Structure formats: structure tokens, C-alpha cells
Amino acid sequence: MARRFTAIILCFSVVLSCGLTARAGGNLLARDLTGFEPAPFGNGFFKGRFANQTWDARSIPVQFTIDNDNDPIPNPNGPPTISLAAAKTAVQKAMDSWNSVPTSYSNLQLTGERHSPSGGAGFDMVNEIAFQNPGLPFVGVSSPVYLVSDFYLNDGDDIDEDDDSDVSAAITVATDIDHDGDIEFPAGFYKAGTILEADVYINTDDYTFSANDADLGNFGIFDLQAIATHELGHSQGLGHSMDNQISDTDGRSATMFQNYGWDADNIRGVRSLGTDDQAWISYTYPEGSASSGPAALQGGDVAFNEAYGFIKGELRHGWQNEPLLGGCIYATNKQTGERVVSGYSGLNTQFYTNPSRSYVLEESFLDGHYVLPVPKGDYIIGIEPVDDRPVSSDVISALTFFGATLGQNDFNEQFYDTNNSAALPSDAKSIHVNVGQTVDHTDITTAKNVNISNYGGLRFYALINDAIFAQRIPASQIAAANGGQNILIQAAAFHTRPLDASISPVFAEAVLTTGVVNPNLTATIDLNNPLDRISRFVGQDDDFAPFYFHNPKELGRKVKAGIATGEIQDLFILLKVPDGPFPGPSGLPPVIGLDDNPTPLLNSYISIDNGQTFFPIIYNYRASLWVSLTN
């Protein structure tokens, strides 16, 4: 086999864990360099794989102290807004959110207060909640320190190199046995990825926080409980989720979604954990997975294996014919339409790496396997690229960054069918999962699609009442697709988003039709004879939302014939803003993304007279026509 080496800078960590053998998306990844096997090309590189960042069961409960340097806690933008007591209450509520998941044995405890030196205490075997900027402009941050190889910790070992023993053979549960303020680990074997310490920094040097419900949704005031809940997810080894829209009627995000939405309902959702958060914390710390210790069932617990099953499979990249790394897989409940959990592919990916975090991948190292923990139910399995929208690949994991670097993030949203091929929604097959059951071989190979896109990077969003946004797809581009051969015209995709994070963006309709550009540069678009149309088109939150056409093959044939005869000059894909009033605190309609192209392509139009006149605009809508090749 040809060896392909790809140098990759980067990345952070993520993927799974628990007492289970598989790894998956949902967790922070650790570099596992166990054995320190040198790379054949030397240069200080070692062979590695990914491990989950996770607390060993002997470290449960995980004990935190809170920074008591200031009471009240300073506010850089005005008078203080939080007393230390209120901060402790908010942090305790954040811990309670995680501790109350009945299928997880994770347990966080706030055990005391301590002074936090300027710049943070750093790696000192104390898990602290600190109110300061740790040196970088985060709102909050928690970046656990972990073992990079399997290791046997001996009695007396000094893990943080402060001339004080951090390991004791006299204990079986991590605790401050010598009462000097830091935590000692029980002696014994620990796996690579084991978290040794996890500080949480709340950046009160630069941002205003509140613990008052009355401030929820106030722009510029961060909710301490929500931020703490998210950061404590990282402290337990969870990574960022892609889930920022639960369903067509619920726009709230998972707690572990990257961005903070200024919307009280969404913030309340962040405080309380979503199904994705609950699934991954339970997968990482499965309740009932041991007969003794914290993982043993106790009063009020529910065994993970009696509440969840698994969906497993492999993603492959159709164009490149290779395993797909870092693709996002998600499970939607067939009955409710709610997105329940998402993860990432590439469980068994290997790499060469050096201390400077450069990576080298060999072709045989690529892997596309995934696992999703799901409650009993019927699921539709979808995939989406981690392609900047709604978040970029480098904020998820090294795996998603690998996928982006290898050019694998270029597929469209697709679904599982029983033919191991990517399907449109109408052909998607549902999967039934019982508790304790693993449904394996749920494999998807991405389709060989071609997108016709005429836009650049995102510049801003367009907001206008009663508007119809229209994007021209020149006939010449359609004719050129697939070298003039037959095509399936599958979907129109629009970059949409709501202005309120808890709202799903709903447009009055999406339309595919024909039209012409007039000599005065306006466009005449045929709204009376659309090629396809859908009412109540549900967009996505800061992502491309597809309007799937009803008969792609017939549409392709019809358009190709129309272009050949001159009957069709151009196609237009349209998005109509609905009439108000609009849901959400802003009361504003959903918006469409426009680009930063310095040169107008004159393919984007707007009408505010219900389609009588379409004016060109100097920016370009971020909208595409998806076509696929036919046999």
C-alpha cells in the first residue's frame, strides 16, 4: 500500500472513554503515547493513539475548592454583581446538574475555599474554581492535565513535582490524606488519559458575570451557573458537542455546545443538560459498571446498561474512498424529531506526534468508526461535516481537525440507509435500539455530490421583513456539472440562523424555480410555476439548511432538457421570510448569511414586493444547489 504522510499541526483532545472498550466522540481526547515507540522517520516523533480524558473511578468524587480571594467577586465593567456565597451556590448548582444524572457515577464536590494566586495555581494537584483570567481571553476554561501514557503510580510519587508526595499506598480513594491542601492518588495502575487535575477558570478579569436569574438573557452579562456547568463538563473529560438545535421547534443547544447564546431560554437549557450531555457523561462514567465503589449501583441510580444501547458503524469518504475522520454522526428520535446525541468518527485513528503537537498520519492509520450511546427508541442516523458551521473543526477535537486537514469535511448532510450508502431523508432507514443492545454496522459512505456555490466566507446576516431572498444558479454552471452528463438535483441549501439561540429558524417557504436576468440587472423570477416548493421551511442555527427536492432524478432530467432547448435560462433558489410576529426575545425574523466577496457576482437578489421585482445586491447569499451524479 502506498504510504501517505500528512503533516498536521494541531490539536486538542477529545473522544471517549469509560470502562467500555470503545472510544468515541463526546469526550476530550488525550494523546496516548504508551510505550513511546519512536516513529520510523525519527525527528522526535512517537507513535500514538487517542485515549479518553477521564477521571479514574478511584478519583471519584472529584473534589474542588473555590477561590475566595474576593468577596464580592470583582466586575471589570461596573460594580460587583456576585457575592462569593452566590458564586458558590451557582457552582454547586452546576455540579448538581452533572451529579443528578442517574445513569452516571460521576460525582463533583465543592469541598472548600482557598486563595488562588495571580495567574492561577496551575498544576498543583488541587482542582480549583478560580475567578480570574488564566492568561488567555476565555470567558471560562477548563483544560485537564492528563497522563500521556499508561503509568503505575508508586507510593511517594510526586506527580506535580512540587517536592510533596501525591501518591499513597495507604488509600483506595483519592483524598487529601496528609491535609496539606492537595489531593493524593491511591497507588496503582492508571491508563493514559487519566485526568490528574482539572482547574476551572471563570474570567472575571475581563467579563461580567451574574448569578441572578433576572440577568438571564442580558447581553454582555454571562450566567455563572451556565458557564460553570459547561466548564465542569470539560473537567470531567467531555468535549464540545455539535448539537445547537434540538428539533424543528426547539432551538436550544446542548450544554457542551461551544457557543453561548444570549437568550434566557437557551441559557436555562445549558444549565440543565441536554440529552447529548447526559448520554456522554453516562457513557464515560457508566453507573452499574462495577460491583463496588462509585460505579456500583446505589439508591436512586439507574444502571447505564439498563437505560442505554449503542449504535455503531463506520463512516467512509466516498470521493476519497477511505475512512472518514472526525465526521459528525447524530441520532434523531424518529417519533419526536429530536436530536438525541451526536459523536465523531475515528475511534481507532493512530498518528505520529512530537512534544510540539505536530502530527503525521500514515494512510493505514485512518479510521472511521464511531459509537453513539442512545436510550431505547427508533432513530434516524444522520451525518454532517464539521466545517466551521456551526463550529470549526479545531474546537472539537484532533480527529475533526485531522478530517478537515485531509479534506474530508466536504460532504453534505446525509442519512443512513440499509445499502451502506448516504441517503436523502426520504430514503433514510430507522434503527430500533433496545437497552443493552448494540446495533452495529450502521455504516455510511458519503455520496459523490457536487455543490454549485457562488459565495465567499461569511460576512454578516441579512435581516429584512417580508423579504424574498433569491440566489441565481446560472444554467451554464448546471450544464457544466458532471461534464454535461445526467445529474440528480437534490437540494437547495441556505446558510440560515435565528437571532435567538432557543428558537429554530423557520421561513415561510423555500422554492426552486426558473427566471431570467433583465437588461437593467433586476431579475424576473417565475413564482407561479415553481419546479419545487416547500412551505414552513425549517432552517438551521448558523449552518447550511437543505431543502430536499421531492424528485431529484426527474428534476435533473427536466432541467437539463429545459436548458438544452433554451426554455430554462437560469435556476433560482428562494427563501421567503415569514410574516410576524416572531418567537423569541428579539421578536425578529430568521436571517440568511451573506459573504465577504469583494467582487459582486450579481447572482443574489432581494424582493420586498412579494416577488414582483427582484433587485441585485452587491454581496452574495451563502446558498448552494446540491446535485449528484447519476449512473
Site for another protein in 328-387 (CB under 8 A): 353, 355-358, 385, 387
- The answer to whether residues 157 and 167 touch, using CB atoms and an 8 Å cutoff, is yes
Q: Return the number of the residue (268 or 376) whose C-beta is nearest another protein.
A: 268
d(CA 280, CA 108): 16
- The answer to whether residues 483 and 500 touch, using CB atoms and an 8 Å cutoff, is no
For another protein, what does the binding mask look like between residues 413 and 452, x meaning CB under 8 A? -----------------------------------xxxxx
- Is residue 272 involved in binding another protein (CB under 8 A)? no
Residue list 559-578, contact with another protein (CB under 8 A): none
- Is residue 552 involved in binding another protein (CB under 8 A)? no
Q: 224-235 and 264-272 helices cross at what angle (nearest 10)?
A: 40
399 three-class SS: helix
Cell numbers for 22, please give them.
Answer: 470503545
Answer for which of 9, 85, 169, 561 binds another protein (CB under 8 A) is 9
Answer for which of 26, 134, 313, 323 binds another protein (CB under 8 A) is 134
Residue list 204-223, contact with another protein (CB under 8 A): 219-220, 222
- The answer to whether residues 559 and 568 touch, using CB atoms and an 8 Å cutoff, is yes
Answer for which of 15, 66, 141, 311 binds another protein (CB under 8 A) is 141
Region binding another protein by CB under 8 A among candidate stretches 68-76, 141-149, 171-179, 307-315: 141-149
- Is residue 189 involved in binding another protein (CB under 8 A)? no
- Is residue 406 involved in binding another protein (CB under 8 A)? no
Answer for which of 50, 55, 64, 260 binds another protein (CB under 8 A) is 260
Answer for which of 247, 259, 430, 524 binds another protein (CB under 8 A) is 259
515 three-class SS: strand
DSSP tag of 216: T
Answer for which of 56, 67, 124, 182 binds another protein (CB under 8 A) is 124
Residue list 475-494, contact with another protein (CB under 8 A): 477, 480-481
Q: Which of 12, 145, 124, 24 is nearest to 65 (CA)?
A: 124
Answer for which of 84, 297, 303, 462 binds another protein (CB under 8 A) is 462
Answer for which of 47, 49, 58, 234 binds another protein (CB under 8 A) is 234
Beta carbon of residue 212, minimum distance to another protein (angstroms, whole number) = 18
Q: Return the number of the residue (25 or 385) whose C-beta is nearest another protein.
A: 385
Q: Which residues of 288-315 are buried (b: 16+ CB within 10 A; e: fewer)?
A: bbeeeebbebeeebbbbbebbbbbbbbb
Region binding another protein by CB under 8 A among candidate stretches 252-260, 301-309, 365-373, 437-445: 252-260
Q: Return the number of the residue (77 or 465) whose C-beta is nearest another protein.
A: 465
Q: Which residues contact 260 (CB under 8 A, 6 or more apart)?
A: 139, 222, 226, 227, 267, 270
Residue list 26-85, contact with another protein (CB under 8 A): 28-31, 33, 36, 46
- Is residue 160 involved in binding another protein (CB under 8 A)? yes
Size of the site for another protein (CB under 8 A): 133
The C-alpha angle 493, 344, 406, rounded to 5 degrees, equals 75
Phi, psi of 352 (to 5 degrees): -105, 140
Region binding another protein by CB under 8 A among candidate stretches 88-96, 105-113, 364-372, 593-601: 593-601
d(CA 464, CA 17): 47
Beta carbon of residue 452, minimum distance to another protein (angstroms, whole number) = 6
Answer for which of 121, 254, 433, 545 binds another protein (CB under 8 A) is 121
d(CA 27, CA 233): 9
d(CA 414, CA 446): 7
d(CA 494, CA 544): 5
Beta carbon of residue 147, minimum distance to another protein (angstroms, whole number) = 6
Q: Which of 403, 399, 401 is nearest to 446 (CA)?
A: 403
Beta carbon of residue 623, minimum distance to another protein (angstroms, whole number) = 11
Residue list 98-117, contact with another protein (CB under 8 A): none
Q: Return the number of the residue (264 or 311) whose C-beta is nearest another protein.
A: 264
Q: Which residues contact 229 (CB under 8 A, 6 or more apart)?
A: 94, 97, 98, 255, 270, 271, 273
